[in-house]
Amino acid sequence: MSELLRPAEPFSPWPPFLAGFTAALRSVFAYVLFGTFIGIGALGHDFGFSLLWMLLSTALIWAGPAQVILISAMGTGAAASTIGAAVAVSLSSVRLLPMVVALLPLLRTEKTRTRDLLLTAHLTAISMWVESLRLLPQIPREQRIAFCNGLGTGLLVPSLLATGIGYYLAGSLPLVFAAALLFLTPLSFLLSVTRNSRLLVDRLAFILGLGLGPLLAAMKVELDLLLSGVVGGTLAYVVYRLRKAAR
């Protein structure tokens, strides 16, 4: 791929953008997100939101779990629920911040301006982040921002289309099927993380998180998902530091 994306004079962002867009459509995430957002579109219809509202929420939130939280909370119509939804969506979206921080060093050059990274930061979701880490080493650094923008857009466009399809299929879409579609996204992330975990610290954090999550849920501990990630990741990091010190 790097041979196809050699820098040209003058530099145009469109070839790497289109390359990223094409890579997104070839990714399994595009199909997983398509199925997921069919379920989200149907959910929004059942709660009485307009199609325009649903499309804007998909484009602006760009995070399936946060979108489901917002739809479910605002669907009640209570002011307290709206405030709680804003807090819940914010907390849910905070998990994307470390991904943005990890991705930006791979994109920056000496000429990169902050405004050049705004769209990329917005488009950074788990799916785009995983694919970026896999594909960026093949891309010349000066083309990576445009490539990531194309990659994120290539995942967003099918999701917008699926939101509209799910919205209009809501009347005929079985509830169990809609729920199963929403489950596709976490399942695909689970498989992708498993595939991309090459270091011991990554695998250990992954195993500890999987083990702690159901345990804390069975114990009815609040914030079980958050704690399983924090505790599992911290323990894995401690083991990594101890092994490194021993060497």
| Per-domain residue ranges of the chain | 14-196, 199-247
pLDDT, average across residues 182-192: 69
The tokens 């990576």 sit on which residue?
144
Q: Read off the pLDDT of residues 49-76 as tens digits, 9 standing for 90 and up.
A: 999 999 999 999 998 888 887 887 787 6
In order of 49, 63, 125, the CA distances from 150 in angstroms are 29, 18, 13
**What rounded mean pLDDT belongs to the chain?**
84
Does the pLDDT of residue 37 top 70, yes or no? yes
Q: Read off the pLDDT of residues 94-123 as tens digits, 9 standing for 90 and up.
A: 878 888 998 999 999 888 999 999 999 999
* DSSP class of 57: H
Please report which helix (H) or strand (E) contains residue 177, including its range: helix 175-196
The whole-angstrom separation of Cα 175 and Cα 179 is 6
The whole-angstrom separation of Cα 153 and Cα 120 is 10
Can you tell me whether residue 125 is helix, strand or coil? coil
The pLDDT assigned to 240 comes to: 85
State what percent of residues in the chain have pLDDT above 70: 86
pLDDT band at 81 (very low <50, low <70, confident <90, very high): low
Does the pLDDT of residue 195 top 70, yes or no? no
The whole-angstrom separation of Cα 56 and Cα 194 is 32
The whole-angstrom separation of Cα 132 and Cα 121 is 12
The whole-angstrom separation of Cα 60 and Cα 18 is 22
The whole-angstrom separation of Cα 49 and Cα 52 is 8
The whole-angstrom separation of Cα 55 and Cα 161 is 9
The tokens 């991705």 sit on which residue?
103
pLDDT band at 6 (very low <50, low <70, confident <90, very high): low
Q: Which two tokens stand for residue 14?
A: 């469109």
pLDDT, average across residues 141-155: 96
**Other Cβ atoms closer than 10 A to 235:** 15
> The whole model's pTM is what?
0.76
